[in-house]
Amino acid sequence: MTDKKVWLITGAGRGLGVDIAKAALAAGHAVVASGRNPAKVAQALGTADNLLVVKLDITQPADATAAVAAAIERFGRLDVLVNNAANFYAGFFEELSLEQMDKQLTTSLIGPMNVTRAVLPVMRRQRAGQVMTISSTAGLVGFEFGAAYAASKFALEGWMQSLQAEVAPFGIDTIVVNPGFFRTELLTEESTNFAENAIADYDERRAAQVQFWRGYNGQQSGDPAKLAQALLTISGQENPPRRFLAGADAIATAEQVAAELQQQLNAYRELSSSLAYDEAV
């Protein structure tokens, strides 16, 4: 890829998507900024010769196809896809409705799949490209009140790792980004939804959880503008990482996960290693 790239960013009307788009534009790249409401995207980013604003609801495959076609018509290629659009359905598993689980999986898993499926034919023809997908530390470890979100992110990670093996021969890289807590708009009322079905056994814990999540919005330690710059840095590397742990809290989470996995491996190594067939002599 050349130094100047064409970036397609989902969820570019608010939060981290705006920061990524602004950073890419400032660095001289071309940006296809997408969102469900293109007027809101345009308001957030303004106008520029190397900016194209397109409508893209990631849950609609036809929108993804149209957005990619518009990008190619305007810029002739696509170099970096950033699967950024997100929401958060918070709640205890029993209290989350089937519809809420479906909406979480549709946005966090099926949505990125829709956009990536539309982009890959272009990148295969180019024999170059990057698919950068924003996951979470919830893709590394589950947490109380996060069943839907963690389920979607764990699935996202498995898909991306499998995809890497499939598209690497075409010169395409996949990058999973695991941010810790960043001061984005994920915890605002527009993006966070709470479980609908109250079960008495969870009342006390639910109240504490809702208070925490509502109160934590705007208190996160991570700076999304710095994260956006970091994403440009790793995108520009000759061999970008398969995974980027973003934030000191993300590193601490990953270290804890690795330590616990090693502990479990060691604790049951003998039993696990004894499960092969006893072949007849």
3-state secondary structure of 171: coil
Active site residue 162: no
The residue annotated as part of the active site, out of 108, 152, 153, 235, is 153
Element (H, E) at 131: strand 129-134
Q: pTM of this prediction?
A: 0.92
Q: Per-residue pLDDT tens for 84-116?
A: 988 889 999 999 999 999 999 999 999 999 999
Measured at the CA of 39, the angle between CA 36 and CA 44, to 5 degrees, comes to: 100
Among residues of the chain, what percentage have pLDDT more than 70?
Answer: 93
Examine residue 280 and state whether it is found in any structural domain, yes or no.
no
Instruction: Tell me how many domains the chain contains.
Output: 1
Examine residue 107 and state whether it is found in any structural domain, yes or no.
yes
Which of 52, 62, 137, 151 is closest to 105 using CA atoms?
151
The residue annotated as part of the active site, out of 34, 108, 135, 152, is 135
What span, in angstroms and rounded, lies between the C-alpha atoms of 15 and 50? 21
What span, in angstroms and rounded, lies between the C-alpha atoms of 114 and 234? 24
Identity of residue 212 = F
Residue with tokens 């699935």: 155
Active site residue 268: no
Examine residue 230 and state whether it is found in any structural domain, yes or no.
yes
Query: In sequence order, which ranges of the chain are alpha helices (DSSP H)?
Result: 15-26, 38-45, 61-75, 98-105, 111-126, 147-167, 203-216, 224-235, 248-267, 269-272
Beta bridge partners of 176: 133, 243
Reading the block at residue 157, the tokens are 């990670």
Active site residue 55: no
Identify the band that residue 164 occupies on the pLDDT scale cut at 50, 70 and 90. very high
What pLDDT is stored for residue 197 in this prediction? 86
Identify the band that residue 258 occupies on the pLDDT scale cut at 50, 70 and 90. very high
Examine residue 277 and state whether it is found in any structural domain, yes or no.
no
The residue annotated as part of the active site, out of 149, 152, 191, 235, is 149
Minimum mean pLDDT range among 72-76, 193-197, 228-232, 272-276: 193-197
Domain boundaries, position 11: 6-272
Examine residue 1 and state whether it is found in any structural domain, yes or no.
no
Q: What is the CATH number of the domain that holds 124?
A: 3.40.50.720
What span, in angstroms and rounded, lies between the C-alpha atoms of 147 and 138? 9
